[in-house]
Amino acid sequence: MSEDQFKHVISHAKEYGFVFQGSEIYDGLAAVYDYGQNGVALKNNIRTYWWKSMVQLNENIVGIDSAIFMHPKVWKASGHVDGFNDPMIDNKDSKKRYRADVLIEEHVEKYVQKIEKEVVKGRKRFGDSFDEAQFRATNPNVQRSQQTIDYINGEMKSAMDSGDLDRLKGLIEELNIVCPISGSRNWTDVRQFNLMYSTQMSATDGESQIYLRPETAQGIFVNYLNVQKTGRMRLPFGIAQTGKAFRNEIVARQFIMRMKEFEQMEMQFFVQPGTEMDWFEYWKEKRLAWHKNLGIDAAKYRYHDHIKLAHYANAAVDIEFEFPFGFKEVEGIHSRTDFDLGQHQEFSGKKIQYFDPERNENYVPYVVETSIGLDRMFLVLLSDSLRTEQVEGGEERTVLALPPALAPYQCAILPLVKKDGLPEMGRAIFDDLKLDFACYYEEKDSIGKRYRRQDAIGTPVCITIDHESLTDQTVTIRLRDTMEQRRVPVNALRDLINSEVSMNALLRSLS
Ligand code: ATP
C-alpha cells in the first residue's frame, strides 16, 4: 500500500464516521483522536474478539478492570518514574521540540557519511588493491572523522549515564547543532521528559502527585494476589484486561498509530519459573494465529525479535504488520521474569508469592505477557480492508472488506421505496433482527446509493424489501464482498445472516 492509499484510509475514516481528530472544532489536539459512530462499533468488536479469545476460550484466564489512577509507588516500583524518560530540548525560534540524544546522533551520522564517502573515493583510487580495513585505520581524513565520532559518543554516553543534562546541552552547543526547521542555535535547556502524565490528588495531608497509567499491566500485577486467592487460581494462569493508557509521546504522528491516549489489551500469564520460555513460544504462536484468523493477508505479518532486551525481560518479540509506512509493531510478547512482582513485593513490603503444592515451596511466579494496542489493531483492519474496486459499467466502488463479525453493522435493512407498506415491513424485520445483530435501517436514496454506503462502512449483508415481499414474505439479500443477490424467505434471515457474520464461528476457527 502506498502513502496515497494511507491518506485514503485517513480520509475514509473521517468521512464515514470512524475516526475524528480530537476537539476538532478547536483545531484539534495533537495526537488525540475520537472514535465516531462506526469507529466505536468496530473498536468494541475488536475488543470483544480479543476478550472472548482470551477469557472465554481459556479456562485458566480471567479478566479484571483496574483503575487508571494507581498509588504513586506503583510507578516507582515498576521503574517508570526513573526510567520512562526521554531528554528533550526545544528550539526557541521554531518552537519545535526534539530529543536531545537524537539530535546528537543525527550529527554523528554526518561524520559516518563523511567516512563512507572517503572509503568510496579510496576504492576508486586504489582499485583492486584497495584494502578497506587498512584505509580506515590510516587515512587521515577518516581518522579525523572517527576521532570526532568517538569523542561525541563518549561525551554523550557519559552525560546520559550520569543524567548530566547541562553537559548534553553543552555538547549540542559545542557541536553547533542547528534546528532543522529554523536553522538557529537558540536552544532551551535540556530537560528530562518523563512520558507519564501526572496530576494532583487531594488527600487529608495535602496534595500528592499521581500518574495516569502508561500501561495497563501494572494494574494486573498489583492485583495478582487478590485474583489468585479469590479465584483459587493455580499456575499457570492468566489475567487479562483492556483499558486506556497515556503517554506523552513527543514525536506523535501517523494517525492513530502513536497517540497520547490509547487503549491496550494485555494479558499477563503467570508461570512456574523455568517454564517461561515454553510459554513464551506458546503465546507467540497463539497470538499470531489470532491475527491470521481474521483473514488478513499473512504476508503482511512478521515476527521481529528484540535484539536489545529491557532490563526485566529474558525474551521479547514483536508481531509487526506491514503498514504503508513499513512494518511496525502491533503487539509485543514479553517474558518479564519475576521482575514486576518482585519489585512490588519489595516496595509494598507485602509477600507476593505462590505456594506450589506440587513443588511444596513458595516462589514469585514468572510472567509472560501479550500486549496489543487496540487502536493499532483498528488501523491494521482499516488499512487491510479498504479497497477500491471496478464494477460493471466502468463504475468504481469503495469497500471496507472487514471481517464480517467485526463490522460496525452486520446487516442493513433497506425498503426499496418509502411507501406502499414497505417501510412497515422493513421495521418489523429490523425489530426482530436487532435482538441478534447490529442492524442499520435506511429508506432514503436509490438502492444503489444505499448499497454503496453500506459497502463503505463494511456492512456484510443488505436486506432489500420490495413489493413482492409483501405478498410472498421473501426479501433479497445482497452480500458485500461478492455483490451476489439472492431471494430468501424472511423467516430464514436470522440463520442466513448468522452464517455470514458470526463471532462464534470466528472463535470456533481459532480453537
Ligand atoms: P513503540 O515502540 O511503537 O512506541 P512500545 O514498544 O513502547 O511501542 P509497548 O510498551 O510494548 O509499546 O506497548 C504495547 C502495545 O501498545 C504496542 O504494541 C502498541 O500496539 C501499543 N502502543 C504503545 N504506545 C502506543 C501509542 N502511543 N499509541 C497507540 N498505541 C500504542
pLDDT at residue 314, rounded to an integer: 86
Task: Give me ligand 1 centre to Cα 112, in Å.
Answer: 30
Taking 60 as the threshold, does the pLDDT of residue 485 lie above it? yes
**Whether 488 contacts 473, CB under 8 Å:** no
Residue 371 CB less than 6 A away from ligand 1: yes
Sequence-separated (6 or more) residues with CB below 8 Å from residue 67: 219
Q: Which amino acid is at 505?
A: A
Strand partners, 379: none
Whose CA is closest to atom 11 on ligand 1?
A: 332
Residue 384 CB less than 6 A away from ligand 1: no
Which atom of ligand 1 has the smallest separation from the CA of 258?
28
Residue 261 CB less than 6 A away from ligand 1: no
Q: Decide: residue 245, CB within 10 A, 0-12 exposed, 13-18 middle, 19+ buried.
A: buried
DSSP letter assigned to residue 250: S
- What stretch of H or E contains 336? strand 326-337
Which atom of ligand 1 has the smallest separation from the CA of 266?
14
- What stretch of H or E contains 239? strand 237-246
Q: Which three cell numbers stand for residue 453?
A: 454506503
User: Which of 196, 212, 262 is the best mutation target for the ligand 1 pocket, counting ligand atoms within 8 Å of the beta carbon and taking the most?
Assistant: 262
Q: Long-range pairs for 491-499 at CB < 8 Å and ≥24 separation?
A: 493/429, 493/433, 493/463, 494/432, 494/433, 494/436, 496/461, 497/410, 497/411, 497/433, 497/436, 497/437, 497/461, 498/436
pLDDT band at residue 441 using 50, 70 and 90 as cut-offs: very high
Q: Which three cell numbers stand for residue 510?
A: 481459532
Q: Which three cell numbers stand for residue 371?
A: 500486549
C-alpha 375/C-alpha 176 separation (Å) is 40
Q: Which three cell numbers stand for residue 181?
A: 526547521
pLDDT at residue 251, rounded to an integer: 64
**Whether 434 contacts 413, CB under 8 Å:** no
pLDDT band at residue 309 using 50, 70 and 90 as cut-offs: low
Whose CA is closest to atom 26 on ligand 1?
A: 258
pLDDT at residue 11, rounded to an integer: 96
Residue 80 CB less than 6 A away from ligand 1: no
User: Which of 213, 318, 371, 375 is the best mutation target for the ligand 1 pocket, counting ligand atoms within 8 Å of the beta carbon and taking the most?
Assistant: 371
Residue 331 CB less than 6 A away from ligand 1: yes
pLDDT at residue 91, rounded to an integer: 94
What percent of the chain stands above pLDDT 70? 98
Integer CA distances (angstroms), 416 to 240, 462, 466, 470, in order: 46, 12, 5, 12
**Whether 306 contacts 317, CB under 8 Å:** yes
Average pLDDT across the chain, whole number = 93
**Whether 451 contacts 395, CB under 8 Å:** no
Q: Comparing 202-211, 286-295, 323-332, which segment has the lowest mean pLDDT?
A: 202-211
Taking 70 as the threshold, does the pLDDT of residue 241 lie above it? yes
Task: Give me ligand 1 centre to Cα 45, in Å.
Answer: 20
- What backbone torsions phi and psi does residue 191 show, to the nearest 5 degrees? -125, 145
Q: What share of the chain is helix, strand, coil (3-state, %, to 5)?
A: 45, 25, 30
What percent of the chain stands above pLDDT 90? 81
Taking 80 as the threshold, does the pLDDT of residue 204 lie above it? no
Taking 70 as the threshold, does the pLDDT of residue 452 lie above it? yes
**Whether 317 contacts 304, CB under 8 Å:** yes
**Whether 407 contacts 501, CB under 8 Å:** yes
Taking 70 as the threshold, does the pLDDT of residue 308 lie above it? no
Q: What is the DSSP string of 15-59?
A: HTTSEEETTGGGT--TT-EEE-HHHHHHHHHHHHHHHIIIIIS-T
- What backbone torsions phi and psi does residue 268 show, to the nearest 5 degrees? -105, 125
Question: 418-431 pLDDT, tens per residue?
Answer: 999 999 999 999 99
Which atom of ligand 1 has the smallest separation from the CA of 334?
11
C-alpha 408/C-alpha 39 separation (Å) is 7
Q: Decide: residue 276, CB within 10 A, 0-12 exposed, 13-18 middle, 19+ buried.
A: buried
Calculate the CA dihedral of residues 177, 183, 188, 192 and round it to 10 degrees.
-60
C-alpha 395/C-alpha 411 separation (Å) is 24
Q: What is the mean pLDDT of residues 461-488?
A: 96
pLDDT band at residue 205 using 50, 70 and 90 as cut-offs: confident
pTM attached to this predicted model: 0.85
Question: 360-378 pLDDT, tens per residue?
Answer: 999 999 999 999 999 999 9
C-alpha 17/C-alpha 41 separation (Å) is 10
C-alpha 213/C-alpha 198 separation (Å) is 9
Residue 214 CB less than 6 A away from ligand 1: no
C-alpha 462/C-alpha 478 separation (Å) is 5
Q: What is the mean pLDDT of residues 192-208?
A: 85
Taking 60 as the threshold, does the pLDDT of residue 1 lie above it? no
Q: What is the mean pLDDT of residues 434-438?
A: 96
C-alpha 391/C-alpha 431 separation (Å) is 33
How many alpha carbons fall within 13 Å on the CB side of residue 217?
26
Of 74-83, 129-138, 453-462, give the range with the top mean pLDDT: 453-462
Sequence-separated (6 or more) residues with CB below 8 Å from residue 69: 201, 210, 211, 212, 213
Task: Give me ligand 1 centre to Cα 483, in Å.
Answer: 38
C-alpha 34/C-alpha 274 separation (Å) is 43
Q: What is the mean pLDDT of residues 196-220?
A: 90
Structural domains of the chain, with CATH:
3-84+195-383 (3.30.930.10), 85-190 (3.30.40), 391-510 (3.40.50.800)
User: Which of 264, 318, 320, 334 is the best mutation target for the ligand 1 pocket, counting ligand atoms within 8 Å of the beta carbon and taking the most?
Assistant: 264
Give residue 151's region: left, alpha or beta (phi > 0; psi -120 to 50): alpha
Taking 70 as the threshold, does the pLDDT of residue 298 lie above it? yes
Residue 334 CB less than 6 A away from ligand 1: no
- What backbone torsions phi and psi does residue 440 show, to the nearest 5 degrees? -115, 135
